[in-house]
Amino acid sequence: MAIKEFEGAHGTTLNKYAEIKKTGFFRYSGLAGYGIYFWIGIHCISLAKEWCICNKKIKMSDCVVIIANIKVDDVNYLDLETLEMKDSIYRLIIKLKLDINDKDKKAKLYDSFIKDIEKMINNEIHVYQIRLPAPKKSTYPYEIIGTPFCCVVRNNKCIFNIRQIKCLEV
């Protein structure tokens, strides 16, 4: 069995980081379903910092970027950015007549889609990769390279070597 490995960045507060160190990450419903979101790729740290500042509306001094290694067996990984996956998701949107502007319904769509895939392959998906919009006012060059990649972790056992950087140091 092959292992996929990523280094990802997650923006949060100093208090949340302390909680995460004690009890682990808390999964929540985000833009692409239920999980823990990590930006991946060369811009991951700046994206996590920008997300923390723009979306959390917190002071820079309270902001931290968590860096972690993500490891998952190939059989528990799904790339939602393939043409086949995009077409399947689109067919589901049409079938359900989904309002794509409703964030809650969009998240539930991804959760439902992942569950259907799990049933089909008779295996759990622990990590999936998807492109998500960069934070507002981001310096990410999406006009040239497209929207950034995220890993959505659905199983905390895939997260290793957690460390933090204060946003003021980035």
pLDDT tens digits, residue range 2-25? 999 999 999 999 999 999 999 999
pLDDT value at residue 103: 84
pTM: 0.94
Enumerate domains of the chain plus CATH numbers.
3-169 (3.90.228)
Q: Is the pLDDT of residue 106 over 70?
A: yes
Q: Is the pLDDT of residue 90 over 80?
A: yes
pLDDT tens digits, residue range 122-167? 999 999 999 999 998 899 999 999 999 999 999 999 999 999 998 8
Q: Is the pLDDT of residue 56 over 70?
A: no
Q: Is the pLDDT of residue 58 over 70?
A: yes
Residues 61, 160: Cα–Cα separation, whole Å:
25
Average pLDDT over residues 66-87: 97
| Residue with the two structure tokens 């989904």 | 98
